[in-house]
């Protein structure tokens, strides 16, 4: 594969992971509820929760939080998760190298770091 094909598959992979992750979360919630003898939430409930979250008004920030970091943290976390989704070959059969694994671990650590700095 060429570089262009790798970039295109990474973008498609990231988009599919971001769009399908709530669906799989809904399926897992439904199965767990059924195993516990309950009816459970609808399978599309995570999408409903996300729509409600995006339509929510902004909350007031804590007094000790920095304005720039507090507003930038959700964007950085989402961008990091999308990059990790692009790096992990979910829908294509491409092996991960050690460098890819190290970058993924670093990026997941960056998510924790951004959360702690923003709060």
Mean pLDDT of 90-112: 82
Judge whether 69 and 45 are in contact, CB under 8 Å: no
Task: Categorize the per-residue pLDDT at 1 as very low, low, confident or very high, splitting at 50, 70 and 90.
Answer: low
Question: Quick one: CA dihedral 91, 107, 116, 65, positive or negative?
Answer: negative
> Each residue of 3-53: pLDDT tens digit?
888 888 888 888 888 899 999 999 999 999 999 999 999 999 999 998 998
The full set of domain ranges for the chain reads: 1-56, 60-119
Closest to 116 in 3D by CA, of 75, 62, 73, 83: 73
Judge whether 93 and 13 are in contact, CB under 8 Å: no
Q: How far is CA 111 from CA 23, 28, 51, 83, 117, in A?
A: 23, 24, 23, 11, 10
């Amino acid at each position: 594969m060429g570089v262009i094909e790798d970039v295109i598959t990474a973008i498609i992979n990231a988009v599919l992971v971001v769009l399908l992750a709530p669906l799989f979360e809904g399926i897992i919630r439904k199965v767990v509820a059924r195993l516990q003898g309950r009816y459970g939430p609808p399978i599309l409930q995570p999408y409903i929760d996300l729509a409600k979250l995006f339509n929510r008004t902004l909350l007031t920030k804590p007094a000790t939080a920095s304005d720039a970091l507090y507003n930038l943290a959700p964007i950085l976390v989402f961008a990091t998760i999308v990059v990790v989704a692009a790096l992990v070959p979910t829908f294509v059969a491409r092996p991960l190298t050690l460098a890819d694994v190290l970058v993924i671990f670093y990026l997941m650590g960056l998510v924790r770091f951004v959360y702690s700095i923003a709060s």
